[in-house]
Structure 1
Amino acid sequence: MPSPAHADSPTAQPPGPGAVDALISQARQLRSRVDAVLGESVSDAEDPRLRWQRALCDLAVHQLDDLGTHLGQLREGFALDTPVAALPHGSAGAREADVRFAGAALPDAAAVGALGRAGSAEWDLLTDGAQWSNELYRIFGRSPQDGPLTLDELPSWLFSEDQQLLTEMVTGCLVDGRPIDGEFRIVRADGTVRTVHMVGEPVFAADGGTISMWAVIRDVSDLRRSQRVLRETRDSLERHRQIAQTERRLAVELQEAVLPPWRGGLRFPQEGGATTMDLAARYLPASTSGLIGGDWYDAMQLPDGSSLLTVGDLTGHGVAATSGMAMLLGALRGMAVAGLAPGALMSSLNDLLDTAAQPALGSALCCRYEPAERVLHWAQAGHPAPLLFRNGTGRVLDAPEGMLLGASSGARYAQASEQLFPGDILLLYTDGLVPQRAPHHPTSGGSAERLLAIAPLLNGARSAQDCLRMVAEEFDLPDRPDDACVLIARIA
């Protein structure tokens, strides 16, 4: 910022008016586009991401206003009613020209918002007088008839904790010849608080003594408010990110502690060492969500020699869903060991979920396989029925009646039975296994139909693990929208 002492120094020539007009036009268009984005945004106090986006738009608007102001100055030069030649050397009016807004640089609304945000002042140390621009009176909420504030009066308008800062800046400028550059808060006569940024320099006499001090004071209240909102929303997003990371870690640990520990194949033996069932299962996480869902699978051999097979899905994601899943799966295991049939077991699970502290809905499938008769007894609660593959073809088992768990108090669940044969393959899954496709997709269809289409592949499998690998190769997609579980049982 040049001072009067440098008046004789050579100055760079400003760019031509055509180039500046082009920049002003681009700034105006960009400002209008940001205004449009800001107008379309929905303010939601509960969503930190939306608050973050709106704060960014607000900040961009203020900065584009400033850009338009400076470009307008560049084009118009000293656009004052009084000719530049008639202004006193180093006067407040001349300094005001450095910051005056040329309204043509922005659309009308933006020009109105920018007017009055910056003003200039000069304090004469010899006469103790002061000159203020009209804009500076507006910033301070003061009438020109009241006259400008002297350097001695100025600190009384500041917050008490900011007064020392102003004193140090003024002293450094007048005594040591240092430029002024700092911010402070003023309290206007109507009680409103504004944040202003002051820059200035001392004006020297021929003998090197300081004769006056001039400054440009800019109202940056809106800009600082936008920056504060931006900072607060950024901090809020960071806290949400840390909370989400912690929740995901807890959900993963809980899921790993509850789901069966076996990752390879599992075989249930009969008395004498013969295998009754060969099993394989897998949890498939979603690719589009950082949270773990409430899907589960389980298989266990019961004390009477029968086998429990189950899959299910509790609504929601995160710790709440996985803790609810853990509760249901623990209860299911206990009731199965106690000998409850699948239909009665589903009714008890429904009552448990209906009276839980955190209401939720869930779907489930529970099967009890009797190896001596090779009969599968099963019940479902709003869940896809098991698929049975035999001799290269597949079909959906006829489902007994059963509504979602937690949907109605006292619900009762029917039970079905199916005769199985050696070599049969059962496929149990949650509905996230097969992502839904648009109706016009050439291979669109229900989840069951698309799974049944792999029957010829499964016919050549030698184990449940081979079957699981084939299913995963077909349906474990990188863009999976929801998590899923799949459990395959091959009858020996």
Structure 2
Amino acid sequence: MGEEESAAGPHSADREAIERLVRDNRRGLMQAGLVPPGGGATRLPEAHDDPDRAAATADSPLPGTRSVLQALDIPAVLLRPIPADGGEIEDFEIIAVNRAAVLYSREPDPGFTGRLVGDLIRLRADYPGMDADGFFKEIAEVHRTGVPLRRRGVEWLMPRPSGWIERRSDLVSVSPCGSALLMTWERFGRAGMVAEAQRIADVGWLEWDLATGRAEYSSQMRTVLGPPGGPVGGRPGGALGKRHTGSRAIVDGHLGDGHLGDGHPADGQPVDGQPVDGPARWIDLVEPESLPAYRTFAEHLLRDTRPASAQITVRLRGRVRVLRVVAEPVTAFRGGPVWAVRAVVRDVTDILDSRIREEEAALEAHRQRRRAEAEAAVSEKLRAAIVPDLVSLAEAGLDLSLAYRPAGGRAGVGGDWVNNRVLPDGRALLALGDARGHGLDAAALMSKLGNALNGLAFTGAPVENLTTWLNSLACDDGWESTATAIIARYHPEMRTLRWTCAGHPPPILVRGGHAALLEAKVGPPLGVLPDFQYLATETALAPGDLVLLCTDGLVERRGTDFDDSLRALVESALRHADLPLRECVDAVLAEMTADLDVPPDDATVVALRALPFKP
């Protein structure tokens, strides 16, 4: 790319292509005799300034103001200003009214017009509601500045002969008419509904005349694009109106003449004696990534003379917005050049942002779900590897059974773990624990503690030493590696269960129709205090005695006292103690979790029963 082309910027080639299409269409209009050379519009004769005089020529007499007023098919009145002593406008007097205004009032009696004029009806005095929302001040401003007020929404309160008040919504316009003001209005009706529909949908329309460079636009375009120097509609931040060297702002040229309301013209700025066309000027707002789409859009309209739509990214006073534009060309005749372009514009930035956020949220949810599924699968396999099926302890004089319910219906992702085996010396090892958390972290901690316990148990050391060593291992692994546990060894030769409690719910003993919590020498959870020395409790077992152990997921409930839950567990154990051991643990688990549709934590029940003496 040469230095000259680079200096022209990324828009130059596209702008030249679009301007060439505009010139070609304008040349076609001139050749067809539809537009005078130079592209200007035919000048119409100006109306006479004095409303009470009728200017006329010999060949074409003009009617008087009141005759013109009566010819209007919409309600209209002439207003004469009444100045106050200080020079300000005190009120406006109605000096003429047309028949459409009489009919509008739904009082079609001949005296209405006479009463309206003859009795000096005044706006502020006789219609005080006009002051409520500043409408009267706007009328006075039209008289002061000469700038018309166009299609201003007004709510009227009309007293009816029956005594009730009727509310009407109208679009009112006020224009200078010599020394008086002409006020016309029309029912809100279809025009109002269209304007409201544009406001609700945040849509604006506009039409560019290629011959004159003028544009007509709806008032909602100001909200969609933002007026120069003001905020972009109701959105925070900057406004539309990007300034360029040697020309006015894009919107200044087409929407910046100070007139609001549907169908108000704005002059395009001439370039080299020709009025600038909207599509060519708007290219300066388009972001580089949207230039190809915008150029194609303009070519469809101006070269192919067919409707087109585009979604383009623009920069409006430093803010990037996305506009959806749907447009159609207006040709002078079938197959002829393009005379005008009509477009509907909508700011879809917020819609796209919302859609992107929804898609990102859905994608993140999908990732989380896949991650959870993968973690559950790995945890399941890891749990199966470190918590195999229960080993029979009958050789050591114990019957053993287990029931388990995962948190939230998840299989194998919790921190509950069980370890049992018959040691070489004929004694039985039994451990029930609950590692902190869920998922792979909990499964990894279960693996460390379970494997460590298996190795340490073969040393023959007392259970209090085993528990102390496991605590040191957990402390060395980090502050998150914590777990509660019951570590027990059963001595069949003495019918004694020696056990330690590391922050875990105590066991329950059921004997002879009675059930109670065993007194425990409770120590802190594993991984909390590095140098803590755990102590063991000894419990003698008789044939038929039942010992029930559980994890805290069976007894901890939000809003429920922990001791109350333990008492409920003791009562449940007693109720089901006479059942076969497998049925017993299933019944206790089902009863204690019956009120939980989705358990917040894993729940495990382990039961062991002392078998009769072998002969």
Common fold: TM-score over 0.5: yes
Q: Give distance in 2, aligned partners of 1:269 and 1:449.
A: 33
Shift in Å at residue 421 of structure 1? 1.1
1:200 corresponds to which of 327, 338, 345: 327
Give the aligned residue type for 1:450. Answer: A
Aligned pairs (5 A) from 1:4-403: 81=173, 100-101=195-196, 118-131=203-216, 135=222, 136=225, 138=227, 140-141=240-241, 142-143=251-252, 144=256, 148=268, 150-188=278-316, 190-207=317-334, 209=336, 210-262=338-390, 266-269=392-395, 276-287=397-408, 292-357=413-478, 359-403=480-524
Q: Counterpart in 1 of 2:104? A: none
8 A contact 1:297–1:485 mirrored in 2: no
CA distance in 2, matches of 1:333, 1:401: 22
Q: Give the Cα separation in 2 of the matches to 1:215 and 1:80.
A: 26
Give the unaligned 5+ runs of structure 2.
Answer: 1-167, 176-190, 233-239, 242-250, 258-265, 269-276
1:470 aligns with 2:587: yes
* Structure 1 residue 450, shift from structure 2 partner: 1.8
Shift of 1:339: 1.4
1:421-465 alpha-carbon deviations (Å, 9 max, x no partner)? 11111111111123537559xxx963332222135544533x432
1:351 offset after TM fit, Å?
Answer: 1.0
Q: Secondary structure at the match of 1:266?
A: coil
In structure 1, the partner of 2:605 is: 486
Q: 1:466 to 1:239 in 2, by over 3 A?
A: closer
- CA deviations 1:269-317 (Å, max 9, x no partner) are 15xxxxx111111322123668822111121111111111111111211
* 1:24 corresponding residue in structure 2: none
| Secondary structure of 1:151's aligned partner | helix
CA distance, structure 2, for counterparts of residue 137 and residue 373 of structure 1: 91
Specify the alignment match of 1:7 in structure 2: none
Mapped contact 1:297–1:486 kept (Cα < 8 A): no
Query: Could you tell me how far apart the structure 2 residues matched to 1:206 and 1:170 are?
Result: 20
**What is the TM-score when the length of structure 1 is the normalising length?**
0.70
SS in 1 for 2:544: coil
Aligned to 2:323, the other structure's residue is in SS state strand
Report if the CA contact (8 A) 2:484-2:504 is conserved: yes
1:200-227: CA deviation from partner (whole Å, max 9, x where unpaired): 2122334553321111222222222222
> Any idea what SS the aligned residue of 2:206 has?
strand
Contact 1:457 1:470 in 2 (8 A): no
In 2, the alpha carbon distance for the partners of 1:207 and 1:373 equals: 111
Q: What is the alpha-carbon distance in structure 2 between the residues aligned to residue 408 and residue 454 of structure 1?
A: 34
What amino acid is aligned across from residue 183 of structure 1 in structure 2? Answer: Q
Query: What is the CA–CA distance in structure 1 between the aligned matches of 2:343 and 2:431, rounded to whole Å?
Result: 78
Q: Secondary structure at the match of 1:120?
A: strand
Instruction: Return the offset for 1:368.
Output: 0.6
Any gaps of 5 or more consecutive residues in structure 1?
Answer: 1-75, 84-95, 104-110, 271-275
Instruction: Give the stretch that moved more between structures: 141-150 or 166-175.
Output: 141-150
| Letter matched to residue 394 of structure 2 | F
Aligned residue identity for 1:205: A
Partners of 1:129 and 1:212 lie apart in 2 by 10
Residues 1:453 and 2:579 are matched in the alignment? no
Take 1:458 and 1:155, find their aligned partners in 2: how far apart are those partners?
82
Cα separation, partners in 2 of 1:307 and 1:240, compared to 1, 3 Å: same
Once the 2 structures are TM-superposed, how far is the Cα of residue 371 of structure 1 from its aligned partner?
0.4
Closer/same/farther in 2, CA of residues 249 and 131 from structure 1, 3 Å limit: same
Q: In the alignment, what sits opposite 2:547?
A: 426
Q: Distance in 1 between matches of 2:193 and 2:522?
A: 81
Cα 1:181/1:414, change in 2 over 3 Å: same
Larger mean Cα displacement after TM superposition, 121-130 or 427-436? 121-130
Letter in 1 for 2:207: E
Cα deviation 1:60-95 (Å, max 9, x = unaligned): xxxxxxxxxxxxxxxx99958489xxxxxxxxxxxx
Structure 1 distance, partners of 2:350, 2:443, is 45
Q: Deviations over 1:244-278 (max 9, x none)?
A: 2222222222112211224xx824315xxxxx111
229-238 or 303-312: bigger deviation: 229-238
- CA distance in 1: counterparts of 2:382 and 2:541, whole angstroms: 35
Q: 1:404 to 1:282 in 2, by over 3 A?
A: same
Structure 1 counterpart SS, 2:553: coil
CA distance in 2, matches of 1:490, 1:277: 6
Contact 2:479 2:528 in 1 (8 A): no
Distance change (3 Å), C-alpha of 1:206 and 1:252: same
- RMSD over equivalenced CA pairs, Å: 3.3
Structure-2 separation of matches of 1:434 and 1:353:
25
CA shift digits 1:22-60 (9 cap, x unpaired) = xxxxxxxxxxxxxxxxxxxxxxxxxxxxxxxxxxxxxxx
| Closer, same or farther: CA 137–341 of 1 in aligned 2, 3 Å | closer
Report the CA distance between 1:487 and its aligned residue: 1.3
- Decide whether the 8 Å contact of 1:292 with 1:317 is kept in 2: yes
Letter in 1 for 2:327: G
Q: CA separation of 1:459/1:78 partners in 2, compared to 1, >3 Å: closer, same or farther?
A: closer
Q: 1:78 to 1:194 in 2, by over 3 A?
A: farther
1:404 aligns with 2:525: yes
How many angstroms apart in 2 are the aligned matches of 1:469 and 1:228? Answer: 49
- How many percent identity over aligned positions? 31
Preserved CA contact (<8 Å) 1:343 1:414: yes
In the alignment, what sits opposite 1:15? Answer: none
TM-score by length of 2: 0.57
